[in-house]
Structure 1
Amino acid sequence: MTSSSSEEVVTLPAPSRNQVYVTISALEGGHLTLPESLFVTPADPEKRSTVPSLCFLIQHPPSIQTLNQKSKTTKLIFDLGLKRDFSGYREAQQHHIAQRQPTTVSPDVVESLRNGGLSPSDIDVVVLSHVHWDHVGTPSDFSNAEFVVGNGTLHLLAHGGGPLYPAALFNADELPHDRSKELPPVTESKEFASHTHVTDHTWRPLAGFPAAIDFFGDGSLYIVDAPGHLHGHVNVLARTAPGKWVYLGGDCCHDKRILSGEREIALYDDGRGGLRSVHMDTDGATRTVERVRRLLGERKVTEEGGGRVDVEVVVAHDGGWRERNGGRFWPGTL
Structure 2
Amino acid sequence: MAEDEVAGAVAGNWRRPVAAFVLAFASVWLALDMAYIGLPFIRPGSVVIADGKFETLVTGRMFDPQDRYRVMIFGHSKALTAARPRELDATMGAGFRSYNLGLPGEVHFLPILKAALEAGNVPTHVLLTLPWDGKRDRDGLIDALHNDAAIAKVLLPFRTLPRDATLFVFENRKRLIEAIHDVAIERSRMLEERGWYFIKSQSHYEDDRLPDDYALPTDQPTHVASRPIPEQSFTRTRLEQLARQYGFQILLIPLPYRTGEFARAPAADAGPAAIIADQPPIRVLGPAYFSYPPALFADPQHTNPQGASVYTADLARLLKGSGAFR
- The TM tier, using the shorter chain, reads under 0.3
Q: TM-score, normalised by structure 2?
A: 0.23
Higher helix share: 2
Q: TM-score, normalised by structure 1?
A: 0.23
Higher strand share: 1
